[in-house]
């Protein structure tokens, strides 16, 4: 088996200005090999892009294409992309084809956009000491032998992952903060379910906001209500702010209407 050095992939931490050579294309001998035997954790914005691309509800997309897991050291539910058993012992991404490559390329997940890089985020803030990048060490990859040269920042921009990171940033920060809380402090199942719904099941979260007593109990300003009613990304960002309130009781926009809350309590 090749070592990292034999594969030409130095095991080093990278900064936004680190330079590297890489290019992936159909003519390269390893094309689509990186789409096999992988574990891809999906972000909230990944779900939105993919379910819209496939013209599915978020509920249907989650049921068909994902596997739920608990994220280590956080007790938070997350989802990974469900692989296909194309060949024994070699699960493959459901969206890759031998002759076409990725059939959802324009809407591919964050992890795929970063490849051949990985990112270790200590915070969502763009500060030099808040995280670092590294190479995904796969000996089969020949993309590092290509002439195209990038900085990490140039690669992120070219692949559109900077947009994904910006949209997911408030959610990423919640995970980082939860990871810092002692492991013996556990979430209730109700809180876990809410985290899952608000993070991944955007269509169900929309119904939760607009078809329950949510807007009676919480005094959300009318402008915000109109934005989240008509704009899915506004709703997604609202869900992150709601989770911040649920997990850490932070967020002035979720002031409780005591009278409505008491009335709801009497009915339940």
Q: What is the pLDDT of residue 78?
A: 96
Q: Of 79, 61, 60, 62, which is closest to residue 70 (Cα–Cα)?
A: 79
Q: Are residues 244 and 164 in the same domain?
A: no
From the list 44, 39, 42, the residue with the least C-alpha distance to 200 is 44
Spatial contact of 155 and 29, defined as CB atoms under 8 Å apart: no
For 235, the token pair is: 């709703």
Q: CA-CA distance, 101 to 120, in Å (whole number)?
A: 27
Residue 52 maps to a domain: yes
Q: What domain range includes position 236?
A: 201-267
> Are 211 and 85 in a shared domain?
no
Which residues share a beta bridge with 36?
A: 92
- 13 closest CA partner among 135, 126, 150, 151: 135
Q: Do 40 and 138 belong together in one domain?
A: yes
268/258 Cα distance (integer angstroms):
15
pLDDT by residue for the chain (268 residues), tens only, comes to 233 333 445 557 899 999 999 999 988 999 988 998 889 999 999 999 999 999 999 999 999 999 999 998 888 999 999 999 866 668 999 999 888 899 999 999 999 999 999 988 644 444 444 568 999 878 889 989 999 999 999 999 999 999 999 999 999 999 999 988 877 788 899 999 999 999 999 999 999 999 999 999 888 999 999 999 999 999 999 999 999 999 998 877 787 777 655 665 555 5
Domain boundary among 150, 169, 188: 169
* Other beta carbons less than 10 A from residue 205's beta carbon: 23
β 76-81/41-42 pair status? antiparallel
Distance CA(227)–CA(134), nearest Å, equals: 38
**156 in the same domain as 63:** yes
Beta bridge partners of 218: 256
Are the C-beta atoms of residues 183 and 73 closer than 8 Å to each other? yes
Rounded Cα distance, 127 and 121, in Å: 11
pTM of the model: 0.88
How many domains are contained in the chain? 2
Contacts of 122 (CB under 8 A, 6+ apart): 129, 130, 131, 176
Residues 33 and 163 in one domain: yes
3-state secondary structure (DSSP) of residue 239: helix
- Give me the residues paired with residue 114 across strands: none
Residue 191 resides in a domain:
no
Do 115 and 213 have their domain in common? no
């Amino acid at each position: 088996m090749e070592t990292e050095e034999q594969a030409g992939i130095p095991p080093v931490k990278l900064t936004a200005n680190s330079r590297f050579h890489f290019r992936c294309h159909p003519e390269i001998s390893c094309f689509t090999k990186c789409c096999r035997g992988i574990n891809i954790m999906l972000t909230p914005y990944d779900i939105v892009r993919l379910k819209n691309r496939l013209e599915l509800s978020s509920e249907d997309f989650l049921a068909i294409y994902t596997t739920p897991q608990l994220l280590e050291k956080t007790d938070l539910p997350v989802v990974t992309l469900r692989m296909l058993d194309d060949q024994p012992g070699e699960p493959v991404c459901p969206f890759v084809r031998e002759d076409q490559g990725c059939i959802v390329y324009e809407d591919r997940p964050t992890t795929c956009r970063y490849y051949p890089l990985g990112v270790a985020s200590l915070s969502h803030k763009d500060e030099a000491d808040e995280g670092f990048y590294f190479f995904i060490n796969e000996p089969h990859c020949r993309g590092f032998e290509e002439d195209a040269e990038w900085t990490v920042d140039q690669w992120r921009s070219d692949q559109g992952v900077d947009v994904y990171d910006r949209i997911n940033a408030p959610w990423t920060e919640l995970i980082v903060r939860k990871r810092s809380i002692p492991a013996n402090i556990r979430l209730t199942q109700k809180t876990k379910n809410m985290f899952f719904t608000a993070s991944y099941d955007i269509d169900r979260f929309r119904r939760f906001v607009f078809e329950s007593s949510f807007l009676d109990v919480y005094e959300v300003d009318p402008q915000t209500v109109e934005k989240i009613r008509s704009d899915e990304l506004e709703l997604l960002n609202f869900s992150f702010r709601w989770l911040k309130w649920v997990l850490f009781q932070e967020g002035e926009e979720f002031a409780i209407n005591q009278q409505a809350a008491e009335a709801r309590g009497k009915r339940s």
